[in-house]
Structure 1
Amino acid sequence: MPRILLTNDDGIYSNGIRAAVKALSELGEVYVVAPLFQRSASGRAMTLHRPIRAKLVDVPGAKVAYGIDGTPTDCVIFAIARFGKFDMTVSGINLGENLSTEITVSGTASAAIEAATHGIPGIAISLEVDWKKTLGEGEGIDFSVATLFLRRIAEAVLRKGLPGGVDMLNVNVPSDATPETPIAMTRLARKRYCPTVEERVDPRGHPYYWIVGRRTTEFEPGTDAYALKVERKVSVTPINIDMTAGVDFGEVRMVLTGG
């Protein structure tokens, strides 16, 4: 049977990762290695200056499950070192969408990117949620449609592989999606948030700062954000981890040397 690595950045106790196990368990052996705690926005950070701890966790449907006191990238590295090569890596189902070039900040997407650097095809999948109605580990969220799309996409990737030049897929499912919701093939939007720093004052009169993001509300057609937020479609973006610009190197040389 195919060997599938499942991870996330919401933590091993998230209902999203349990929903993903149900979606994947009939497709292959599911190995779960995920952070013990919430590690959103950790990007591809690695834990290099202290040891990491691993804890066996009971996750129904998984062949084995470990919680790691590190980042999503740590989880992928740990899993490969301990269990060897996998046929596919899935990261999610994440609570909240991961859109635009800011997926490099996302622990969810970065886990799939890390797996791709090891030659393992990956899927990062996120579910749009209403944060006003979301509690704890995703209590009350209906993952049924997201698991349906995850199973469809994962089964296709296991059967056919990813096309040449595609290392992973970044998938975003609308909160109101149904099994009939169309899939849109998209490119990454330029930006989803415009971050800034908000200054506040503590009870002792000392200033402190929060990084906050103002959401972009206008999106270019053809992008993941437009498909999800405007068209209400499932966005699937093929990602290549080689970020080398597709430009004539001679043009760059002209800029640098003037000749």
Structure 2
Amino acid sequence: MPKILITNDDGIYSRGIRAAIEALRGLGDVYVVAPMFQRSASGRAMTLHRPLRAKRVTINGVKAAYALDGMPVDCVIFALARFGSFDLAISGINLGENMSTEITISGTASAAIEAATHGIPSIAISLEVNREKYKFGAGEEIDFTMAKLFLKKIAKAVLEKGLPKGVDMLNVNIPYDADESTPIEITRLARRMYQPSVEERIDPKGTPYYWIVGTQCPRDVLEPGTDMYAVKVERKVSVTPINIDMTADVDLKYLRGHLGL
């Protein structure tokens, strides 16, 4: 039986991770290692300056499960050390979409990227939510039915056929209103998803403090063929192939001459 790792950045008690377990049932032996707490927007952060604590958790239908008081990337590293390599790694199902080049901020995508650096075919999967407050909850109000359906379909294909040469992971985003007939679009990453800004406020003692906030890019500037266009405009499932070699596709000799080196 294939060995499958499931992790996330919403925490081990998120309903999204239970949905992923249900979706993968019967496809292989499932292991779960996920953060004890919400770790959204943690990116590729690792815990190097203190020890990690791990708690064994009982979850029906899995070979073993641990909650780790670290980051999503820590969870992948811990899982490899504890259980050896895997045939497939799944990060998600995340509450809230993860699209554009900003996936490097996402703990969900970064966990899949970490697994991919170890040669494990990986899928990061996120479910769009229609209310901002749902992004940092446990998912009590969310219907994961369609996300589970598409995850099972894509995971089964990857287990059977692997990923094509040059593809290390897939970044999948499901519209919140998807149904069984929703098309799947193979996309590229949009340039960015949010326009960030810093909001200054004053605490009761008169001292300023700051929130980093962001507004989503308007639909009329979204470029066809990108993940954001597929999900936000066309209401399609977006599947973006990711290569973890971020070397620019440029003639290296030309670059040397261009820079005068």
The residue identity in structure 2 corresponding to 1:247 is V
The residue identity in structure 1 corresponding to 2:248 is A
Matches within 5 A, 1:103-252: 103-131=103-131, 134=134, 136-217=137-218, 218-252=221-255
* Cα deviation digits, residues 214-250 of structure 1 (max 9, x gap): 2101210000000000000000000000000010112
The residue identity in structure 2 corresponding to 1:235 is S
Whole-Å separation in 1 of the counterparts to 2:200 and 2:35: 31
* Cα deviation digits, residues 60-114 of structure 1 (max 9, x gap): 2111110000000000000000100100000000000000000000000000000
The residue identity in structure 2 corresponding to 1:96 is G
Q: Bigger CA drift: 163-172 or 56-65? A: 56-65
Give, in angstroms, the shift of residue 133 of structure 1: 6.6
1:87 is aligned to 87
Which SS does the other structure have where 1:195 is aligned?
strand
Give, in angstroms, the shift of residue 36 of structure 1: 0.3
Distance 1:46 1:133, change over 3 A: closer
The residue identity in structure 2 corresponding to 1:202 is D
Which SS does the other structure have where 1:41 is aligned?
coil
Give, in angstroms, the shift of residue 257 of structure 1: 1.0
TM-score of the pair, normalised by structure 1:
0.98
Give, in angstroms, the shift of residue 131 of structure 1: 2.4
1:253 is aligned to 256
Percent identity, aligned pairs only, is 71
Distance 1:248 1:132, change over 3 A: closer
Distance 1:133 1:254, change over 3 A: closer
Give, in angstroms, the shift of residue 136 of structure 1: 3.0
* Cα deviation digits, residues 139-197 of structure 1 (max 9, x gap): 02110110000000000000000000000000000000001100000000000001111
Whole-Å separation in 2 of the counterparts to 1:81 and 1:74: 11
Q: Bigger CA drift: 55-64 or 70-79? A: 55-64
1:44 is aligned to 44
Whole-Å separation in 1 of the counterparts to 2:96 and 2:61: 24
Give, in angstroms, the shift of residue 255 of structure 1: 2.2
TM-score of the pair, normalised by structure 2:
0.97
Whole-Å separation in 2 of the counterparts to 1:219 and 1:50: 42
Which SS does the other structure have where 1:150 is aligned?
helix
Which SS does the other structure have where 1:13 is aligned?
coil
Give RMSD over aligned pairs.
1.1
2:21 is aligned to 21
